[in-house]
Structure 1
Amino acid sequence: MLVTMRLSALFTVLCLVHPDPAWATARSSASGTSAAAPGRGEAPLNSTHANASVLACSALEGTFPTKLWVPGQANYTAENQHFWSPTDYASPLCVLTPSSASDVSTAVRILSRLKAKFAVRGGGHMPIPGYANINGGVLIALSDLGQLALANDSSYVSVGPGRRWEEVYAYLQPYGLIALGGRVGLVGVPGLLLGGGISFYSNQYGFAADNVIAYQVVLASGAIVTATASAYADLFWALKGGGNSFGIVTRFDLLTYSSPSICAGIMEYAGDQQQPFLAAVANFGQYGSADTKAAVIPSIFMLGALNTTVYTTALFYDTTANCSQPALSNFTALPAIANSYASTTLAAYVAGTDALIGDGTRQEFRVISSLATAAALQVVHDTFVQMVLDHIWDVDGIQASVAFQPVTSHFIQQGIAHGGNPQAVDVASAPYFWMVENFSWNSAADDAKIHAFALNVTSVIDAQLSAVGAKARYQYMNDAGSGQAIFQNYGAGNLAKLKAIRARYDPAKVYTDLMPGGWKVDLA
């Protein structure tokens, strides 16, 4: 009866020409508090969509009076800034904080009926402006979908999309278990999983998404379904790296694995260790990762404020025993100026990574893929370092880095063993380096300069890699920047298959046209 009464009230609101008085008052009082300009890459809504947004916020407030927030309210600010990078901040007209899949379903029906633009944010993962937030539209913030529940047999954990990875690991730690997820604690769960997801355990078990056994999904129709390998199997496959074109995931069921303790930490080397460092990276890419319990994230770090370049390696080994492992010996043998590699737990390690991300810094990513060769490493190193020094070394607070992520054939084969995924990375050409360029800086005034530079340096490096025969096809979505080709570089025929699945589950393109943020299969 209550549901019927609320829907009746909703349809009454939809028939009104003007928003209800409560919304009009809130909107009027907020008019002076939402003056932020649209973020880079995101245009303001036109008048038609702006009117739809006003009606949508009014309807949502009538339906969810205790879950709808407007500018000037503390909850609006908290949800709008619930990202690890300020480049995600925007000016939504209102923010909805649903607390159940049913709430999300009702909201999607309202937004779809009104043709109102919206964005969805989980725990906060991607720092690209407009990908998980919106100017002038509705932000659906999933913060209150915070489920964490271990199955009775401990074989999987159910995780709500409002969670961050540090929370998942902390929940599982008392049981001596882990789930495959992010290597930095404060990024969100759904963004990582829908893009595939690289974990410290990926050499053993594949993409994080290869280890999802069920997705609870709100479809564009508002229907709530559970996609598994046997039910809605095409949707299940698409969600293992196909992004957000298919629905809003309101629960992930993730396989768990025993890993009560690990060895992990970061070693830092002085700039004069360039050549032995690159040699260690090349060796691990080719041979060291045959030990699937080992993982590394070697990086070049350029620190403008200190006018210096250093080399670092995040080291990981899945063991309860000795941290001195042959697979990591080329890195541990290098003279270090700082070293935190030691026995710990995954939960403790990722909690410590939060301090590595400067509070309030702006962020930009670009992805580069190559074969795992010494020539590729040298090209990327030399070009990146020189271009940073020549073009952006004077930017306030600049930190520029490249992380080299070794990807083995065993990693890729795990996806095949779990029923396949949309990425379908060519296992025959493995191993690879999937590299992420990361730029952080202090002022929004430098956004355009950094973005232009990121485009340019990536283009130059890609061309040089092609010239030495080391360019690889696949581009990892979660490390990519706006405009990079993602789905076009998936396995042969998979883009067409993803488009067909999108058409089956969202024929009206609600999650493409009304929810514009993110990479869309139909636009590839």
Structure 2
Amino acid sequence: MVPSLRQVWLLAILFVAPWVVYADTCSDLETTTSIEVSRPVSVSYAAEQQEYWSTSCAALLPTCIIFPKSAAEVSTILTILSSNNERFAIKSGGHNPNNNWSSVRGGPLISTQRLDQVVLDPSTGRVRIGPGQRLDSTAAALQGTGWTFVGGRIGNTGVGGLVLGGGLSYMSAQYGWAASSVIEYELVLANGTILTVTASSYPDLFKSLKGGGNNFGVVASYLVQAYRQGDIYGGNLVFLRTPQTDARILKAVRDFTEYNADDKAAVIVTAERTNVNLVDSWILFLFYDGAVVPPGTFSNFTSIGPIANTARVRTYADYMAFSNWVIVPASIVTIATETIPLPSSANLASVMFDMHAHWRNISSTTLLDVPGVVASIAWQPFPKRIAQAARDKSPDLIDADPDVDKMILEINYSFLLEADYERMTSTMQATYGGIRERVLAHQAAGRLPRDVYLPLFMNYGFFKEDYFARLKPESRALARRVAGEVDPQGLFRDRTGGWKP
């Protein structure tokens, strides 16, 4: 009989939790355990601090960096943390640019880098993946096996943060979120208890981990279902920006979202601007899960006339590694998101052109006097098929409805100077806030469908956005209840960053 979460917690208090008060986690681990602890003077500390996408996160210096190699070592670390009041952070790949989400100043940082297993059962396609893996390294480890996993779209992304946020993939129309294919979580609770969480053992916790972030414990490994895959077709199309190109590309991505019937085909449509070398362009990411692309699949984009085309047949591992060019080195990065219903073709200009013009107007101001700024907006199809595929695979906290085609927007500003952080925070709020206002106005005017559930995508969320408030009320209530059951003392609620239910 599987014990309840309440029973697990009470047993841990009686037999596991120590009654000693520790001075600080870093010193105690150094003196009482063999767990790897790196201080600021060490090479491993300096190297790990460089593994953030945003330099604002790297500037937050932890007291030490802890590198557990097993769930048992994670358990020891959390047991000690539970006995003091230090703020701490847990880091997978460091791709989330929100300060204090996977970074911390003056407290311990738990790096999952050594939790890096990729163990495939070639007969079933089930693979156990550690949160210290990244998408490109996982794809490389599976290269040649005939199996692939449902990961994200940028190779350098950490597995841990991607999956806990849901994870949007090129293969989502086939298999749902990245989290949809998780069969089992090896989870370490705040009190040090190690649980095997499945749909049958702890169904509410299992669901909450799919889109609930870091509110329930530390995942030491994921058992996921992989899928058969050979070579794929992928690459980028590049277009010089003109008003005419804007109109044609926005129409193309709108039409692709509604009319594409091939679940193996996927696109990301991105507008990019920078004052570094006066770039103003469109960069499209094309993906087809197969070596032979049916004629016409991407013709509404290729017919516009790209000035460059890198798309070709390649391995999935090669495409994941190739995608890392998008990371802007030595920059402060901010990312935000919004979800919009797909407008009809008749309302394309009044809705999508309006939103894109808003982004261009806001970003134009930053291009004038913010050094090294790169502004981008990505229009990402979220057709009904993705929501249905996710529901078919596994329940999740996001619980997207398969009733209306939607688009997920990713808004990104990167820049050089910490002195511009507050200004760019305001700029970001004005950008996504203006899009949200336009969605509501267009709905009120009948140009967009009303009464549509529009959750935010956690992996792109800005720290000022309220992720849990945009979920269905019952999903938020479930997350809050489950977090209270597994962490009644509020270790993750009160002492780590991230969105809280």
TM-score under structure 1 normalisation?
Answer: 0.86
Query: Could you tell me which of 279, 283, 287 is aligned with 2:251?
Result: 279
Asked if the contact 1:204/1:293 (under 8 Å) is kept, the reply is yes
The answer to whether structure 1 residue 477 and structure 2 residue 451 are counterparts is no
What stretches of structure 1 move > 4 A for 4+ residues in a row? none
The answer to whether structure 1 residue 58 and structure 2 residue 30 are counterparts is no
Which residue does 1:181 correspond to in 2? Answer: 151
Query: Could you tell me which of 342, 363, 373 is aligned with 1:388?
Result: 363
The answer to whether structure 1 residue 70 and structure 2 residue 13 are counterparts is no
More divergent stretch after superposition (456-465 vs 470-479): 470-479
Please give the alpha-carbon distance, in whole angstroms, between the structure 1 residues aligned to 2:175 and 2:368.
Answer: 40
State the Cα deviation string for residues 315-345 of structure 1 (Å, max 9, x = none): 1111122x35423110111211111011111
Please give the alpha-carbon distance, in whole angstroms, between the structure 1 residues aligned to 2:335 and 2:130.
Answer: 26
State the Cα deviation string for residues 410-466 of structure 1 (Å, max 9, x = none): 1101222123211111222x2101101011112222222211110112212211221
Once the two structures are superposed, the pairs formed by residues 423-502 of structure 1 within 5 Å of their partners are 423-428=398-403, 430-469=404-443, 470=448, 473-502=454-483
Once the 2 structures are TM-superposed, how far is the Cα of residue 65 of structure 1 from its aligned partner?
Answer: 4.7
Q: Tell me: CA distance 1:400–1:435, structure 2 relative to 1, closer, same or farther (3 Å).
A: same
Once the two structures are superposed, the pairs formed by residues 201-350 of structure 1 within 5 Å of their partners are 201-272=171-242, 273-288=245-260, 290-321=261-292, 323=293, 325-350=295-320
Asked if the contact 1:125/1:189 (under 8 Å) is kept, the reply is no
Once the 2 structures are TM-superposed, how far is the Cα of residue 66 of structure 1 from its aligned partner?
Answer: 5.7
State the Cα deviation string for residues 477-517 of structure 1 (Å, max 9, x = none): 11110021211221341111111111111111111112x21
Which residue does 2:10 correspond to in 1? Answer: none
Asked if the contact 2:182/2:225 (under 8 Å) is kept, the reply is yes
Asked if the contact 2:466/2:499 (under 8 Å) is kept, the reply is no
Please give the alpha-carbon distance, in whole angstroms, between the structure 1 residues aligned to 2:201 and 2:488.
Answer: 20
Once the two structures are superposed, the pairs formed by residues 30-49 of structure 1 within 5 Å of their partners are none
The answer to whether structure 1 residue 87 and structure 2 residue 59 are counterparts is no
Q: Tell me: CA distance 1:393–1:204, structure 2 relative to 1, closer, same or farther (3 Å).
A: farther
Q: What code does the residue aligned with 2:283 have?
A: T
Which residue does 1:518 correspond to in 2? Answer: 498
More divergent stretch after superposition (277-286 vs 387-396): 387-396
Please give the alpha-carbon distance, in whole angstroms, between the structure 2 residues aligned to 1:204 and 1:326.
Answer: 20
TM-score under structure 2 normalisation?
Answer: 0.90
Please give the alpha-carbon distance, in whole angstroms, between the structure 1 residues aligned to 2:110 and 2:257.
Answer: 41
Q: Tell me: CA distance 1:355–1:205, structure 2 relative to 1, closer, same or farther (3 Å).
A: same
Please give the alpha-carbon distance, in whole angstroms, between the structure 2 residues aligned to 1:149 and 1:76.
Answer: 27
SS at match of 1:348: helix
The answer to whether structure 1 residue 153 and structure 2 residue 123 are counterparts is yes
Please give the alpha-carbon distance, in whole angstroms, between the structure 2 residues aligned to 1:356 and 1:434.
Answer: 18
Please give the alpha-carbon distance, in whole angstroms, between the structure 2 residues aligned to 1:358 and 1:197.
Answer: 21
SS at match of 1:434: strand
Which residue does 2:13 correspond to in 1? Answer: none
Once the 2 structures are TM-superposed, how far is the Cα of residue 222 of structure 1 from its aligned partner?
Answer: 0.6
SS at match of 1:305: coil
Q: Tell me: CA distance 1:222–1:387, structure 2 relative to 1, closer, same or farther (3 Å).
A: same
Asked if the contact 2:274/2:373 (under 8 Å) is kept, the reply is yes
Q: What code does the residue aligned with 2:37 have?
A: L
Once the two structures are superposed, the pairs formed by residues 117-136 of structure 1 within 5 Å of their partners are 117-136=87-106
State the Cα deviation string for residues 337-361 of structure 1 (Å, max 9, x = none): 1110111111101101212222222
| Count of residue pairs brought into register by the alignment | 470
SS at match of 2:494: helix
SS at match of 1:327: coil
Asked if the contact 2:35/2:66 (under 8 Å) is kept, the reply is no
Which residue does 2:14 correspond to in 1? Answer: none
State the Cα deviation string for residues 99-139 of structure 1 (Å, max 9, x = none): 11100000100010123221111122311111001111111
Please give the alpha-carbon distance, in whole angstroms, between the structure 1 residues aligned to 2:228 and 2:18.
Answer: 51
State the Cα deviation string for residues 299-326 of structure 1 (Å, max 9, x = none): 11112123242112101111122x3542
Asked if the contact 2:128/2:222 (under 8 Å) is kept, the reply is yes
More divergent stretch after superposition (471-480 vs 136-145): 471-480
Q: What code does the residue aligned with 1:520 have?
A: K
Please give the alpha-carbon distance, in whole angstroms, between the structure 1 residues aligned to 2:402 and 2:35.
Answer: 50
The answer to whether structure 1 residue 504 and structure 2 residue 485 are counterparts is yes
The answer to whether structure 1 residue 378 and structure 2 residue 353 are counterparts is yes
SS at match of 1:123: coil
SS at match of 1:355: helix
Please give the alpha-carbon distance, in whole angstroms, between the structure 1 residues aligned to 2:232 and 2:122.
Answer: 25
Please give the alpha-carbon distance, in whole angstroms, between the structure 1 residues aligned to 2:101 and 2:88.
Answer: 11
Please give the alpha-carbon distance, in whole angstroms, between the structure 1 residues aligned to 2:457 and 2:372.
Answer: 27
Query: What CA RMSD, in Å, does the superposition of the two structures yield over aligned residues?
Result: 1.8
Which residue does 1:31 correspond to in 2? Answer: none
Once the two structures are superposed, the pairs formed by residues 129-144 of structure 1 within 5 Å of their partners are 129-144=99-114
SS at match of 2:139: helix
Please give the alpha-carbon distance, in whole angstroms, between the structure 1 residues aligned to 2:263 and 2:163.
Answer: 21
Once the 2 structures are TM-superposed, how far is the Cα of residue 264 of structure 1 from its aligned partner?
Answer: 0.5
Asked if the contact 1:426/1:491 (under 8 Å) is kept, the reply is no
Asked if the contact 1:379/1:465 (under 8 Å) is kept, the reply is no
% identical equivalent positions: 31
Once the 2 structures are TM-superposed, how far is the Cα of residue 394 of structure 1 from its aligned partner?
Answer: 2.3
Query: Could you tell me which of 379, 385, 389 is aligned with 1:414?
Result: 389
Please give the alpha-carbon distance, in whole angstroms, between the structure 2 residues aligned to 1:209 and 1:325.
Answer: 32
Asked if the contact 1:122/1:189 (under 8 Å) is kept, the reply is yes
SS at match of 2:340: strand
State the Cα deviation string for residues 205-224 of structure 1 (Å, max 9, x = none): 11110111111000112111
Q: What code does the residue aligned with 1:296 have?
A: V
SS at match of 1:230: coil
Please give the alpha-carbon distance, in whole angstroms, between the structure 1 residues aligned to 2:341 and 2:439.
Answer: 9
Please give the alpha-carbon distance, in whole angstroms, between the structure 2 residues aligned to 1:360 and 1:422.
Answer: 34
Q: Tell me: CA distance 1:64–1:79, structure 2 relative to 1, closer, same or farther (3 Å).
A: farther
Please give the alpha-carbon distance, in whole angstroms, between the structure 2 residues aligned to 1:242 and 1:250.
Answer: 16
Please give the alpha-carbon distance, in whole angstroms, between the structure 1 residues aligned to 2:294 and 2:239.
Answer: 18
SS at match of 2:369: coil
Please give the alpha-carbon distance, in whole angstroms, between the structure 2 residues aligned to 1:139 and 1:391.
Answer: 33
Which residue does 1:38 correspond to in 2? Answer: none
SS at match of 1:171: helix
Asked if the contact 1:84/1:186 (under 8 Å) is kept, the reply is no
Once the 2 structures are TM-superposed, how far is the Cα of residue 11 of structure 1 from its aligned partner?
Answer: 7.2
Asked if the contact 2:240/2:282 (under 8 Å) is kept, the reply is yes
